[in-house]
A and B are shown apart, each in its own frame.
Chain A
């Protein structure tokens, strides 16, 4: 399906400016655990879809923001390529998640420490700012330092700086082979052992810990993977692709505890006193998912003492997500002002602030 709604979207933005209305930007509506913006009208991007340019040899794909992530992934897989950052869909089995939504949220999966984040791979965006202007930043080449890096600024901005119309992202070759090895290991030793693996020149694509096991995912050529697996031992996991998918999409039984789920981004070696049965460690230790009824203050203090930060990722009701650090709040406001002077887009979604 291929639809260019950019003119109509631009008109809707201009109309909202004229009427002094605020706009809630809507994609596929997949991430329903996140609070949506309370606004006067909706700017629906889900019909604005279609791949615009894909040249496997150039290692990038450009698509309209409303293009389903699944459609992009299938196309890439047909050419033995992938979005290396494994962006989460959170679509509950339906193909709701859109490219634009993924970029606006900026989540990356387990391959993040080894292949980069979604933000790392964004090459360019075409967007509408709060003045209703259609702007192009970045492009389709990997190296580009002309002008400020506005494209990457959009990643994780939750649509508060503008509506993304088109996005170009870098893609990577899909590895020939994947194998996951399991090691019995208490959580307190997990990150130290992970660091040991990183020093050993292995073709790593994930290092995680869950329910008493260290999980080592190897990806690469057959030679590289089998040599690495022979070198480090461990038990070969079966159905590993589905297993990683269930972790990425948080459909794994671990996530079904009906307790608040906190996301802690910390220096990878951080030693955090989290009870073993409440935590899933990802990103080589850099990301800790914690299901707990502990107070926000307790958790956030723990994360910040370790040199990181934490926010409530899922709860019984919709959550707000991350918020700007206090020391950068003024700058955040000025940036918001510079893109969206009338506060048109997604009011409140930047940490409940604006």
Chain B
């Protein structure tokens, strides 16, 4: 359904009354930069882009859209990797990046109040002089917004020890599609009634528009050190991850990169990772100055006993930063190896790591597309990057089919189709794999409890039962799946 001429005219007139000219975009050329988020395989121009600067403006926009029954897609910085902020062609794209004020840093209460458009890293930079920081640190932290982090329940390289966004948010203000402002939680460690806060973390813009966030701040650890352990076999690295955890150690971060990822990162950042390694583990330990070296030695010992052929500990803060820079730059680095890449995000139980990586390698060979693995090994959150060339006929379909096989594999070993990037538009079929129709119906009823007309980010995150039924029929009866000759999990 596209926006009728009359609705569109009414929408523009009314929006024009609440937003300044430069905050309301309608020309195709101006809309173009907003046609996709970080998942560029999906593109769509919205009818209108709104760039409000105040909560009152957001409220006014929502009220107008609600009255005119126009869909609204919230958008933060647009770094999402599941197409969650993909515009609706008949709707408004509500961009929240101009609400970018840090409203309060409340050091005595270890928290800060921010607008949703504040960049993740900007907050930690602002609080660091007070000896405090915001723990969730997605690799995209220079760019992504805290509102987007809440909507995706983002993790980061340190979430093994410090948790995901949901563990670090104390309060939210959100607007319903009707424009009602709801105040959820606050500066306290819990809140009365149902845990609506938990429900909103990871709600992908389907339940409400988040306009203010109270986050918890943690004291900066006195000391942090990182090591790189190199393995000649991915399975050994996978086992080492389990051995560290089983020894009762919760590192601040525990990341894995495979051969292809190492090569890409090395060509890009030149850290001096051992290039001939089949896999490396990056392990960070933080805490008190007396305790860190001891724990690091224990981890080093476990790495060696698990078969690491080389363990290097960063000698100073500069080297530590470099090790991490290289890890955080792996996505763009892989981007230089191939015209396009498709990033997956399944989570699996840690003890299945070695097995799953071996099967992904086999799938990669079957499909004839290289896969680079760089991921949060400590919590079993995989990011296989499938390399393809969108300009080569059939490559994208092949990449998507390979991706679907990987996700099915994750579900089959007891994991999930998405650990932190969200379902968005991309993993709707995966949701049909993971959930029964009664469970999906329950999700849809929760959605309706907030947004009965289904105007907020329609068609995302939760598939319709119809879609799943069709998909099921396709898989089971007609056998028309792409690449029927290939093994599926």
The reply to whether A143 and B189 contact each other, CB–CB distance below 8 Å, is: no
Q: Is B10's CB within 8 Å of the partner chain A?
A: no
Stretch at the interface among B160-168, B311-319, B361-369: B160-168
What distance in Å separates the Cβ of A222 from its nearest Cβ neighbour in chain B?
10
Contact status of A311 and B423, CB under 8 A, knowing A144-B347, A144-B416, A224-B291: no
Tell me the B394-451 residues at the A interface (CB within 8 Å). 414-423, 427, 430-431, 434-436, 438-439, 442-443, 445-450
How far apart are the CA atoms of A118 and B443 in the complex, in Å?
23
Give the chain B neighbours of A331 by CB distance below 8 A: 182, 196, 449-450
Q: Is A325 close to B, CB under 8 A?
A: yes
Partner of B427, one of A58, A146, A221, A269: A146
- Chain B interface residue count, CB cutoff 8 Å, equals 89
Cross-interface CB contact of B193 among A112, A227, A283, A325, cutoff 8 Å:
A325
In the complex, the answer to whether B446 meets A143 with C-beta atoms within 8 Å is no
B414 near A140 with CB under 8 A, answer yes
Inter-subunit contact A146/B242 (CB<8 Å): no
Q: Does A350 contact B (CB under 8 A)?
A: yes
Binds B, one of A179-187, A273-281, A333-341: A333-341
Set A129, A227, A287, A324: member contacting B194, Cβ < 8 A: A324
Q: Are A148 and B291 in contact (CB under 8 A)?
A: no
Q: Are B445 and A338 in contact (CB under 8 A)?
A: yes
Q: Give per-residue flags for B281-297: 1 if the beta carbon is below 8 A from chain A beta carbons, else 0.
A: 00000011111001100
Does B415 lie within 8 Å of A135, measured CB to CB?
A: no
B439 close to A135 (CB less than 8 A): yes
Residues of A within 8 A of B160 (CB): 142
Which residues of B have CB within 8 Å of A161? 194
Using a CB-CB cutoff of 8 Å, which residues 290-324 of chain A contact chain B? 307-309, 311, 322-324
Please determine whether A152 and B195 come into contact, CB atoms closer than 8 angstroms: yes
Contact A143:B420 (CB < 8 A) given known A173-B249, A322-B192, A323-B193: yes
Provide the bound-state CA to CA distance between A147 and B348, in Å.
17
CB contact list, A218-258 vs B, under 8 A? 220-221, 223-224, 227-228
One of A146, A327, A332, A334 near B434 (C-beta < 8 A): A146
Residues from chain B with a CB closer than 8 A to the CB of A152 are: 166, 195, 198-199
Is A286 interfacial (CB 8 A cutoff)? yes
| CB contact under 8 A between A223 and B290, given known A58-B351, A135-B438, A141-B348 | yes
Interface string of A105-137 (1 = CB under 8 A from B): 010000011001101100000000101011111
Residue of A nearest to B130 (CB): A199
Measured CB to CB, the closest approach of chain B to A80, in angstroms, equals: 6
Is B422 in contact with A149, judged by CB distance below 8 angstroms?
A: no
Q: Tell me if B71 counts as interface (CB < 8 A to partner A).
A: no
Q: B347: shortest Cβ distance to chain A, in Å?
A: 4
Q: Is the CB of A201 within 8 A of B287?
A: yes
Q: Which residues of chain A are within 8 angstroms of B219 by Cβ–Cβ distance?
A: 198-201
Contact present for A141 and B288 (CB under 8 Å)? no
Which of A55, A137, A224 interacts with B287 by CB under 8 Å? Answer: A224
Cβ-based interface call for A346 (8 A): no
CB within 8 Å of A: which B339-370 residues: 347-351
Look across to chain B and name the residue whose beta carbon is closest to the beta carbon of A304: B186
Which residues in A have their C-beta under 8 angstroms from that of B423?
Answer: 145-147
With A147-B423, A201-B221 known to touch, is A267 a contact of B442 (CB < 8 Å)?
no
Contact flags B180-191 to A (C-beta < 8 A → 1, else 0): 001110111111
Question: Is B306 close to A, CB under 8 A?
Answer: no
Query: Roughly how many angstroms separate A129 CA and B423 CA in the complex, as a whole number?
Result: 24
Q: Would you call A150 an interface residue if the criterion is a C-beta within 8 Å of the partner chain's C-beta atoms?
A: yes
Chain B: minimal CB distance from A311 (Å) = 7
In the complex, chain A residues 63-87 whose Cβ is within 8 Å of any chain B Cβ:
80
Identify the closest chain B residue to A138 (Cβ).
B416
Contact across chains for B351 and A141 when beta carbons are under 8 A apart: no
Q: How far is the CA of A331 from the CA of B174 in the complex (A)?
A: 12
Question: In whole Å, how far is B414's beta carbon from the nearest beta carbon of chain A?
Answer: 6
Q: Which residues of A have CB within 8 Å of B187?
A: 267, 307-308
- Answer yes or no: A157 CB below 8 A from chain B CBs: yes
Interface residues on A, range: 35 or more
Segment touching A, from B88-96, B255-263, B375-383, B477-485: B375-383
**Chain A residue with the shortest CB-CB distance to B248:** A173
Min CB–CB distance B106 → chain A (angstroms): 8
Given A221-B291, A267-B188, A153 contacting B415 (CB threshold 8 A):
no
Residues of A within 8 A of B476 (CB): none
A350–B196 CA distance with the chains assembled, in angstroms: 14
Q: Which of B190, B196, B381, B435 contacts A265 (CB 8 A)?
A: B190
Partner of A139, one of B166, B245, B414, B461: B414
Q: In the complex, which residue of chain A has the Cβ closest to the Cβ of B108?
A: A269
Q: How far is the CB of A280 from chain B (nearest CB, A)?
A: 16
Chain A residues with CB under 8 A of B379? 141-143
Residues of A within 8 A of B446 (CB): 148, 150, 335, 338
Contact partners of A215 in chain B: CB under 8 A: none
Query: In this complex, what residue of A is CB-closest to B202?
Result: A145
Let me know if B192 and A324 touch, CB within 8 A.
yes
Tell me whether A328 is interfacial, beta carbon within 8 Å: yes
Interface centre among B188, B199, B294 (most CB of A within 10 A): B188
Report A-chain residues with C-beta under 8 Å of the C-beta of B223. Answer: 201
Residues of B within 8 A of A120 (CB): 163, 166-167
Would you give the shortest CB distance from A110 to chain B, in whole angstroms? Answer: 12
A80 CB contacts on chain B under 8 angstroms: 248
* A27, CB-defined interface residue at 8 Å: no
**What CA separation (Å) do A72 and B194 show in the bound complex?**
26
A157 to B249, CA, bound (A): 33
Nearest A residue to B298, CB-CB: A221
- Chain A residues within 8 Å of B414, by CB: 139-141
Chain A residue at smallest Cβ distance from B247: A173
In the complex, the answer to whether A223 meets B294 with C-beta atoms within 8 Å is: yes
Question: Taking the complex as formed, is B109 at the interface, i.e. its CB lies under 8 A from any CB of chain A?
Answer: yes
* Cβ-closest 4 pairs across A and B: A324-B193, A201-B222, A152-B198, A173-B248
Residue contacts A-B, CB under 8 angstroms, 16 given: A58-B349, A80-B248, A112-B189, A135-B436, A141-B347, A143-B155, A146-B434, A147-B434, A148-B199, A150-B446, A155-B198, A174-B248, A201-B222, A265-B190, A309-B191, A325-B193
Q: A106-B195, A174-B248, A331-B449 are in contact. List 8 more A-B contacts (CB 8 A).
A: A57-B246, A148-B447, A153-B196, A161-B194, A200-B222, A311-B192, A322-B192, A328-B182
Q: What residues of chain B have their CB less than 8 Å away from a CB belonging to chain A?
A: 106, 108-111, 131, 152-153, 155, 159-160, 163-164, 166-167, 182-184, 186-196, 198-199, 201-203, 207, 219, 221-223, 242, 245-246, 248-250, 287-291, 294-295, 347-351, 376, 379-381, 414-423, 427, 430-431, 434-436, 438-439, 442-443, 445-450, 461-462
Q: A-side interface residues toward B, CB under 8 Å?
A: 55-59, 80, 106, 112-113, 116-117, 119-120, 129, 131, 133-137, 139-150, 152-153, 155-157, 161, 172-174, 195, 198-203, 220-221, 223-224, 227-228, 265-269, 283, 286-287, 307-309, 311, 322-325, 327-328, 331-332, 334-335, 337-339, 350-351
